[in-house]
Chains A and B, each alone.
Chain A
Amino acid sequence: MEGIDLNIIAFYILAGFSVFSALGILFAKNVVHAVFLLVLVFLGIAGVFIISNAEFVGVTQIMIYIGGVLILMMFGIMLTHRIDGKRLESENRSVLIATLLGFGLLGILFYPIKAGFPLFDFGSNEETGFTVTEQIGIHLMTTELIALEVTAVLLLMALVGAAYLAGLNLKKKGVNDTD
């Protein structure tokens, strides 16, 4: 099956691409560069999603992450940094400790991974007659209905809260400390 092979090759390429981009964030000096690298990571991950039988998620990833989160972040950066060069630099701190801790975590994962992951046996993937996207839709309205509701509330809450926090300067009262 050539398609699968292609998928496999694509996986490694995308995965490698993502990891390298992520490493790029780690080493990037400029905040804006870092955010662009993050875009690349997300793109790579979206690609992985797509080849992993999760097209809808992949698209969502691209749309929400790249379209939402990253734009938010860019806004954030622009709002919180004067675009005069120096302040855009993202400084590093205590690299050694972080590296040690990072490798520590990796060390934890090393042995289990070496031993192999006993993935749950889902049995044969029987055809339901729905595409993945359709199935997602059905699930959203049935099994995950409550989750959907909760998420809706959560989003509303976050909206209200974030808007309230961000827009506080509109109210003179309340900001006790403006220095």
Chain B
Amino acid sequence: MIPIEHYIIFSSMLLVIGLMIILIKRNAIMILAGVELILNAANINLVAFSQNDPSLSGQMMTLFVIVVAVAESAVALAIVYQIYRHQGISNIDELNELKG
């Protein structure tokens, strides 16, 4: 049996890396990638914890999370696409018309 803590270490590393990607990368799509990493980190936890769960809630949840992630990405990419089309910008930090 793999110790559960190792799963958590694994997931937390992905979590941190995801967070750092979000904060570091200027590209909107890369930020989205960071978000996906965070979601995957949570998924790893869910799967790991549900190994012994007879009701498999964790795994079920993972499936839904994946679906939601897709939906979210789709919307995000639609917006990114529009922004690029209208302003030629794909770096998120160039968007700063709204402030104060």
User: When A90-B27, A98-B24, A117-B4 are in contact, do A154 and B36 touch as well, CB less than 8 Å?
Assistant: no
Q: Mark B6-45, 1 if CB is under 8 A from A, else 0.
A: 1111101111111111011111111011001100100110
* Nearest A-chain residue to B51, judged by Cβ: A53
From A31, A45, A103, A132, B29 is in contact (CB under 8 Å) with: A31
- Which B residues lie within 8 Å of A128 (CB)? 54
Quick one: CB contact mask for B78-93 with A, threshold 8 Å, 1 for yes?
1111101111001101
Chain B residue nearest to A140 (CB atoms) is B60
Report the separation of the CA atoms of residues A90 and B93 in the bound assembly, to the nearest whole angstrom: 12
Structural contact, A76 and B80, CB atoms closer than 8 A: yes
Known: A125-B54, A151-B67. 19 other contacts (CB 8 A): A19-B10, A19-B14, A45-B43, A48-B10, A48-B44, A49-B44, A52-B51, A57-B62, A57-B63, A69-B36, A72-B70, A73-B77, A79-B84, A80-B81, A92-B24, A101-B20, A116-B5, A144-B64, A179-B86
* CB-defined A-B contacts under 8 Å, sample of 26: A11-B6, A12-B6, A15-B6, A22-B18, A38-B36, A54-B62, A57-B43, A57-B59, A60-B62, A72-B77, A93-B93, A98-B20, A98-B23, A98-B24, A99-B20, A113-B12, A139-B60, A144-B60, A151-B64, A151-B67, A151-B68, A155-B70, A158-B71, A158-B74, A165-B78, A177-B86
